[in-house]
Structure 1
Amino acid sequence: MNAEEQDETHGSANKCPVSTPEGNDTKKGAVKRTPFSKFKRVHSHFKSPLQVMDGAKVSLAEEVAELERRREQLDTEIAQLEAEGFRVDELEHHIDMLHEYNDIKDIGQSLLGRIAALRGTTTRDLYTHFGLELDD
């Protein structure tokens, strides 16, 4: 059976357009590679959210002035907190303790997950079994 006979025996059911990288479509534009979407502009060009409008450009001097104002504002807030008795080294200590707490909590949750897998139950059930709160 040659190629023409095969086309005739399979009928016209296989005559739907096919989109291939080589562009061998039977009808130009009949089949799109992008699936159906409810958005109308599926085939539009990508527009970066970081683009700056021409009218919105700020001069370098204005940007520097704004950063200096922001630095002065932060320095004022720092001075106010120090006047209230807060110290930078105390803040660093609290941050270190929070990191340690989070590391320990992550290890505990990992262990609960493994125990739940071995027992064939959920971690939620283990929380109640061990008297732990789900919000913690």
Structure 2
Amino acid sequence: MQREKEVARGGGFGSVLQGALDKLEQASPLSRGSHQSPGTRGGPSPRPPPRRTPTGTQRNCNARFKSPVPSPKTCQSDAANRETLQCEMEELKGKDLALDQEIAQLLAEGFSPEELDRHITLLHEYNDIKDVGQMLMGRLA
């Protein structure tokens, strides 16, 4: 660095440029370590410059991404996972059995799936006719 200054001071445009750079280094608030606002003359700023990052969170910007959703392997071990799945399977089998019993009871009372399909079709037709009627009433109003 010293040698570069000596070569630059040798004469001409290089020495002028080097002199200007030296003056900028001396005048720079970063080189002196003091905090000055751009509008003040020589005195330190009453408050430090604002930070770019919030002060409350201290996160490493170079760290790997960590998902907020835990992965299944980190939450439970394989044994606990199998046990949970077994319990869920037993519950679902119980619900299936209860629904089969309810269907058998409704069939014994005289309900048929064909009759239910007919009622659903008629309800759809009724709703379509009602919607057309409301639309016509809206246009007349």
TM-score interval w.r.t. the shorter chain? 0.3 to 0.5
Larger helix percent: 2
Alignment TM-score, normalising by the size of structure 2: 0.42
The structure that has the greater radius of gyration is 2
Higher relative contact order (CA 8 A, sep 6+): 1
Alignment TM-score, normalising by the size of structure 1: 0.43
